[in-house]
């Protein structure tokens, strides 16, 4: 149980504090859903992995778009 709490706190810290995070209400809904509707550890793990994957790809996509923009600016000069 202690490990699950640590994972939840790390998840909240990592994915709700960066610029591209979803709203806090979204994450509160996800956590409420996990804590009330998921009865197995596998269900909880699957939801957290899915959210982490979505957040990682959104961050990666934004970084790639920024790199594309900077490269296009270099070509103009």
> Could you report the per-residue pLDDT of 38-57, keeping only the tens digit for each?
888 788 888 888 888 887 88
Residue 49: both structure tokens together? 């992995």
**pTM beyond 0.85, yes or no:** no
DSSP the chain: -HHHHHHHHHHHHHHHSSTTPPPHHHHHHHHHHHHHH--SHHHHHHHHHHHHHHHHHHHHHHHHHHHHHHHHHHHH-
Q: What is the pLDDT of residue 22?
A: 67
Provide CB contacts within 8 A for 30, sequence distance 6+.
Answer: 47, 51
> Could you report the per-residue pLDDT of 14-31, keeping only the tens digit for each?
666 555 556 778 778 888
């Amino acid at each position: 149980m202690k490990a699950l709490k640590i994972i939840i706190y790390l998840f909240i810290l990592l994915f709700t504090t960066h610029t591209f995070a979803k709203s806090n209400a979204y994450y509160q809904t996800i956590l409420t859903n996990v804590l009330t509707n998921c009865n197995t550890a596998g269900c909880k793990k699957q939801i957290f992995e899915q959210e982490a994957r979505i957040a990682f790809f959104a961050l990666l996509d934004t970084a790639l778009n920024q790199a594309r923009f900077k490269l296009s600016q270099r070509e103009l000069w």
